Amino acid sequence: MDPIEALTEIAGLLERDRASRYKSKAFRVAAQTLTGLTPSEREDVPRLRSRKGIGDSTFAVITEALSGRVPTYLAELRERVAPPEPSGLRIQLRGDLHAHSEWSDGLTSIDLMVDAARTLGHEYLALTDHSPRLRVAHGLSPERLREQLELLPAFSDDTFTLLSGIEVDILDDGSLDQEDELLRALDVVVASAHSALRMERAPMTRRLVAAASDPRVDVLGHVTGRLVSGARGTRPPSVFDSRAVFEACAEHGTAVEINSRPEREDPPDDLLALAIEIGCLFSIDSDAHAPGQLSLLDHGAARAERVGVPADRIITTWPLTRLREWKATR
C-alpha cells in the first residue's frame, strides 16, 4: 500500500471519528510532506522519522505501508469508522458537487479522488478547486484552471462522469473571483464566502443575495461559514438576513448547499427548515479534500433526512441527465 494513500485515508476517516484521540491534521501534514519527496527519499526510512509532522503514529503507518501491508492503525480505523450500509436518503444520492484535489488545497491527485468516488458508487463528481483569491488554498488562476480543464475528459466513461467545476470565492461586493468566460464554461459553480465573514449584517446580506442571484452560480456553498468543532477551532456563523438570501436562491433556482463536513454542519437546522419553507433546492456535498472524506455525505444525508428536506429538491439525488437539463436553464 502506498504511504500517501494510507495517510490520506486515515485523515478522511478521522474526520468521521470525533472520539479519536488523534487529530486528522497530523496525518494530512504527513501526507503533504511525503508528496513532495522523491520515491527514494520516501524509502529512506530513518530520515523520514525526523521530518516535521511525522510522529510515532504516522511513522508506524508509513513503515507498515512501505512494507506492503495495510497499516494496523488504518485497519482498526476502517473497522471502527466504516460507514454503515447506505439507507434512506443516502442511498438516493447519485453524486457530489463539491470536492477538491491537490491542484488547490486537497491532499491527493484527481485520479485518486475519482477512484474513491467510483468505489462509493457515484455516478458523477464535480471537481471544484478554489479560485485565485484564496491564496492560502493555492487557488487556481485562469491559466491553471484552463490547464486542469484539458485533463478532465479522460476521467469519464459510460458509468462515471467527472464534472468540471470551481468553488469560486464570493468577493466582498458579491462579485465572483474568476473570469466570466470560464465560469460560464464550467459544469458546476459553487460560490462560497471565505473572507470578511464578520461583515456587518446589511452588506453581508447584499453580498450573499448577489451571489445567489447570479445566473452563473449553481450552488451557494456553506452559507454561514461557521465551524462547530475540529482542528481549526470554532467560528460563529456570519450574520445576514437569511430569509432574503434563501428567497434569492429560490427565485433564481440556486441550490443551497448542505455541507456534510461534521465541523461545519452548515446551514444549521433552523436555517435548513427556513430554506425548505421558502422552496429552495439543495445540494448535499462532501466538500472533500481527500478520498476518504467523500463518504462524509453520510452526515449530510442524515441531517437532511432528520430536518425533512424533500428528496426531489436535492439536486444530488438527480440523474446526470436531469442535472444537466437544470444547469442548461440557468
Burial class (CB in 10 A: 0-12, 13-18, 19+), 283: buried
Report for 83-97, 224-238, 315-329: range of highest mean pLDDT: 315-329
For position 84, what pLDDT does the model report? 56
Confirm if 119 and 138 have CB atoms less than 8 A apart. no
Question: Beta-carbon neighbour count of residue 258 at 10 Å?
Answer: 27
Residue of 168, 97, 175 whose CA lies nearest to 132 = 168
Range in 55-64, 151-160, 209-218 the model is least confident about: 55-64
Residue 152 vs residue 47, higher pLDDT? 152
- What's phi and psi for 130, nearest 5 deg? -75, 165
Quick one: average pLDDT of 291-296?
A: 90
pLDDT tens sequence across 22-68: 567 778 778 878 877 887 887 787 888 888 778 888 888 888 888 88
Q: How far is 122 from 124, CA to CA, in rounded Å?
A: 5
pLDDT, the chain, mean: 91
The confidence band for 139, taking pLDDT boundaries of 50, 70 and 90, is: very high
Range in 28-37, 198-207, 265-274 the model is least confident about: 28-37
Residue of 192, 240, 239, 238 whose CA lies nearest to 217 = 192
> In the structure grid, which three cell numbers stand for residue 135, read together?
491564496
Residue of 304, 326, 301 whose CA lies nearest to 315 = 326
Burial class (CB in 10 A: 0-12, 13-18, 19+), 268: middle
Taking the CA atoms of 308, 313, 314 and 318 in sequence, report the sign of the dihedral they define. positive
For position 163, what pLDDT does the model report? 98
On the question of pLDDT at 20 being above 90, the answer is: no
Range in 58-72, 129-143, 247-261, 292-306 the model is least confident about: 58-72
Task: Provide the whole-model pTM.
Answer: 0.81
> In the structure grid, which three cell numbers stand for residue 176, read together?
465572483
The confidence band for 87, taking pLDDT boundaries of 50, 70 and 90, is: low
Q: Give percent above pLDDT 90 in the chain.
A: 68
For position 22, what pLDDT does the model report? 59
Question: How far, CA to CA in Å, does 62 sit from each of 28, 105, 246, 289?
Answer: 13, 22, 47, 20
Residues near 206 by Cβ (< 8 Å), separated by ≥ 6?
174
Residue of 259, 277, 255 whose CA lies nearest to 267 = 259
In DSSP terms, 255 is beta-bridged to 219, 281
Residues near 238 by Cβ (< 8 Å), separated by ≥ 6?
193, 197, 198, 199, 204, 223, 224, 225, 226
What type of residue is 201? R
